[in-house]
Amino acid sequence: MAQQFLPAFSGVSRARILLVPLVFLCASVTLDLPGMFLLAFVCGFLWDAQNALGPQGGDPDIYPPVGSLRFGYSILLYGGMGLLMQGIRPWFRRGRWQISVLFGAIALFLYLFAEYMLLAFVRGDLALSRPIVVQMALTCALTMLFAPPVFSVLFKLKSLTVRPAPFDPTRTAETDH
């Protein structure tokens, strides 16, 4: 819902901040594989539902006409983006969240590129111009600038919800003191 109120930055090649992909990318590196796929389904569904409204339901800059892409294609693209993020999960678990931000920008660019190519293929026009690539790159950069606050919220949520396991086989009576 908040995505609808974020304008495109006309001074920055009409780039915009993509909230749903941002939250997905930051959360997908923190989840295990089944959790990431569930989140990919939810985020892809929300993205498709938002874009299925079409221009008649909102701003045409936010809801561009999509041609004839079917509902659900974003779920697959989100799954692919999440699989890329799962590849750097070991670094993230070692505390290297900065790599996640950089790799998230790359994953988001690949998502936008794949989505554009799907749309171009469906429309029958496979032309890729420099302004479109610049807009995609700047959208990725702007979006990932907001990744550190999202990670801090996720870290705070983790600290509030993580509880010690009721049984830890490594604990002994000597280590409890």
Range scoring the smallest mean pLDDT among 25-29, 40-44, 122-126 = 122-126
24: in domain: yes
92: in domain: yes
Q: Assess whether pLDDT exceeds 70 at residue 1.
A: no
pLDDT of the residue at 7: 59
Pick from 135, 107, 115: nearest CA to 9 = 135
pLDDT of the residue at 79: 93
Q: What is the domain range of residue 108?
A: 12-152
Asked if 73 contacts 45 with a C-beta cutoff of 8 angstroms, the reply is no
164: in domain: no
- Structural element, H or E, at residue 51: helix 33-51
Number of domains in the chain: 1
177: in domain: no
56: in domain: yes
3: in domain: no
4: in domain: no
DSSP 71: T
What is the per-residue pLDDT across 37-80, written as a single tens digit (0 to 9) for each? 999 999 999 888 877 655 554 555 655 555 556 778 889 999 99
What is the per-residue pLDDT across 90-107, written as a single tens digit (0 to 9) for each? 888 887 778 888 888 899
138 burial type by CB count under 10 A (0-12 exposed, 13-18 middle, 19+ buried): middle
Q: Assess whether pLDDT exceeds 60 at residue 171.
A: no
75: in domain: yes
Half-sphere exposure in the Cβ direction for 136 (13 Å, CA): 18
The three-state secondary structure class of 1 is: coil
